[in-house]
């Protein structure tokens, strides 16, 4: 059958249109999505340009590349390991800052899932504006330190101990005239959050390092009662941290700092200390001072019971004369103070004309039981009803 001219041109135009549609469709076809595992392998490519392009592609993928990059951090090729680790840290940092900003922009300050240390922090401090400001400063400057709380909770104890050790080294000048390194409030706050974690209780942090943490000027400044609302988040965080401490040697320093900082919130811990038969005598002695300073009528029976506790807290030798300070002596001094008596009327060895001190107990001792018994009898006759 012969093809007419009209039929010929119809077929020719149809063929052209089909080819044109094929070309246009091919031009607009979406390229296949990059495979993150292949891109991680490309990080070890001999060509620098190919390595850089793979890195940019992984950066653009964001958290979608996290699993592949995590595997790349364990690769046998050191180039792939190094690049994978750097890119992964950058991706995680961007994601963290995005979530922190979302937290700050939320009027209710509801914590996004996985925000480092936020649950521990808010349980201790709350979400008042000052508390949110401190958290933002802490997470922006010490995100890596807190990240272990969420990413590797089983490693929190080790990281906490290492961070305390690092701070201990920095705060002690290596040479005689070197100035100690400044430790900011945000870093102290991050350490306190880590120390509140359940895993940190098992960390073997030496007393010297924990005591050094309590001596950081930034902490003392934040706990200063004159700091007002600005210091309230740190005061609450410190109280929560103090309640998690299990090292008995630390108790005297904790209670001394509580007295200096007017931390009445430490009262429950002081009561707990006095009720603990395993607590160290020095810690109990300082806890009695906390009760005398901040306690009320409900604490009076506890102090009266301590009048029979002859546990020796400290001994002082002056001019070859030994004076012992016992728990009952400190309790007596605090009862005298609460009753408004003049302490110089009682035969303490070293009080004399000195004003009564809540900060330390070194003046509340006796050279012998005769003077001790005389002081107790004097107070009991005045303040305890006759049976």
Share of the chain above pLDDT 90, in %: 30
Q: Are residues 204 and 328 in the same domain?
A: no
- What pLDDT does 176 receive? 46
At 79-127, the pLDDT tens digits run 999 998 898 888 887 887 787 777 777 766 665 566 788 888 989 998 8
Tell me if 19 is assigned to some domain.
no
The whole-model pTM stands at 0.76
Buried b (16+ CB within 10 A) or exposed e, 6-28: eeeeeeeeeeeeeeeeeeeeeee
What pLDDT sits at residue 342?
86
Q: Is residue 1 part of a domain?
A: no
Query: Range of 214's domain?
Result: 106-173+182-246
What is the secondary structure of 48-90 as a DSSP string?
HHHHHHHHHHHHHHGGGGHHHHHHHTT-SSHHHHHHHHHHHHH
Q: What is the mean pLDDT of residues 144-151?
A: 75
Q: Which residues pair with 366 in a beta bridge?
A: 324
For the chain, report the end-to-end CA distance as a whole number of angstroms. Answer: 137
> In this structure, is residue 20 part of a structural domain?
no
Q: How far is CA 232 from CA 39, 54, 255, 263, 363, in A?
A: 49, 48, 18, 10, 33
Helices (H) and strands (E) in the chain, counts: 18, 2
Q: Give pLDDT, residue 109.
A: 60
What's the whole-number mean pLDDT along residues 174-194? 73
Please indicate, yes or no, whether residues 96 and 114 belong to a single structural domain of this protein.
Answer: no
Whether 316 has a pLDDT exceeding 50, the answer reads: yes
The total number of structural domains that make up the chain: 3
- Structure token pair of residue 8: 């010929």
Residues 6+ apart with CB under 8 A from 156: 148, 149, 194, 197, 199, 200, 203
Alpha carbon distance 304, 196 (integer Å): 34
Strand partners, 314: 325
Q: In which band, very low, low, confident or very high, does the pLDDT at 183 lie, cut at 50, 70 and 90? A: confident
Query: Does 259 reside within a domain?
Result: no
Q: Where a domain ends, among 246, 269, 300? A: 246
**253: in domain:** no
Residue 316, strand partner residues: 323
Gap between the Cα atoms of 383 and 311, Å rounded: 23
Does residue 349 fall inside a structural domain? yes
Q: Which residue has the higher pLDDT, 215 or 334?
A: 334
* Residue 189 pLDDT grade (very low, low, confident, very high; cuts 50, 70, 90): very high
Specify if 123 maps to a domain: yes
Residues 147 and 241 in one domain: yes
Whether 230 maps to a domain, the answer reads yes
Q: At 314, is the secondary structure helix, strand, or coil? A: strand
For residue 31, is pLDDT > 70?
no
Reported confidence tier of residue 302, pLDDT bands at 50, 70, 90: very high
Same domain, 167 and 230: yes
Mean pLDDT across the chain, nearest whole number?
82
Q: At what angle do helices 232-242 and 185-195 cross, to 10 degrees?
A: 30
Q: In terms of domains, do 112 and 79 share one?
A: no
Is residue 7 scored above 60 in pLDDT?
no
């Amino acid at each position: 059958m012969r093809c007419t001219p009209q039929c010929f041109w119809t077929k020719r135009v149809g063929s052209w249109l089909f080819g044109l549609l094929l070309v246009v469709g091919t031009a607009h076809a979406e390229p296949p999505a990059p495979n993150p595992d292949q891109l991680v392998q490309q990080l070890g490519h001999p060509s620098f340009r190919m390595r850089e392009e793979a890195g940019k592609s992984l950066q653009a993928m964001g958290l979608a590349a996290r699993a592949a990059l995590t595997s790349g951090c364990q690769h046998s090729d050191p180039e792939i390991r190094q690049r994978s680790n750097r890119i992964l840290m950058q991706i995680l940092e961007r994601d963290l800052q995005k979530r922190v900003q979302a937290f700050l922009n939320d009027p209710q300050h509801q914590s996004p899932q996985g925000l480092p240390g936020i649950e521990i922090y808010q349980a201790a401090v709350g979400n008042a504006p000052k508390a949110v400001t401190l958290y933002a400063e802490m997470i922006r400057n010490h995100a890596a330190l807190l990240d272990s709380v969420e990413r590797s909770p089983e490693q929190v104890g080790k990281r906490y101990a290492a961070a305390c050790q690092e701070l201990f080294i920095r705060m002690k000048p290596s040479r005689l005239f070197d100035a100690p390194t400044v430790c900011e409030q945000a870093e102290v706050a991050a350490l306190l959050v880590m120390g509140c974690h359940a895993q940190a209780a098992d960390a073997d942090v030496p007393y010297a390092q924990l005591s050094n943490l309590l001596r950081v000027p930034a902490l003392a400044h934040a706990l200063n009662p004159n700091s007002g609302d600005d210091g309230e988040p740190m005061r609450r965080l410190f109280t929560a941290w103090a309640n998690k401490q299990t090292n008995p040697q630390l108790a005297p320093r904790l209670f001394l700092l509580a007295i200096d900082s007017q931390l009445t919130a430490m009262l429950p811990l002081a009561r707990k200390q006095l009720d603990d038969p395993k607590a160290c005598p020095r810690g109990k002695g300082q806890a009695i001072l906390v009760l005398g300073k901040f306690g009320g009528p409900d604490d009076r029976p506890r102090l009266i019971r301590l009048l029979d506790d002859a546990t020796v807290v400290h001994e002082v030798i002056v001019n070859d004369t030994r004076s012992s300070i016992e728990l009952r002596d400190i309790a007596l001094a605090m009862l005298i103070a609460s009753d408004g008596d003049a302490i110089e009327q009682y035969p303490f060895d070293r009080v004399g004309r000195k004003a009564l001190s809540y900060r330390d107990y070194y003046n509340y001792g006796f050279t012998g039981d005769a003077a001790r018994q005389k002081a107790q009898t004097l107070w009991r006759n005045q303040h305890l009803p006759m049976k």
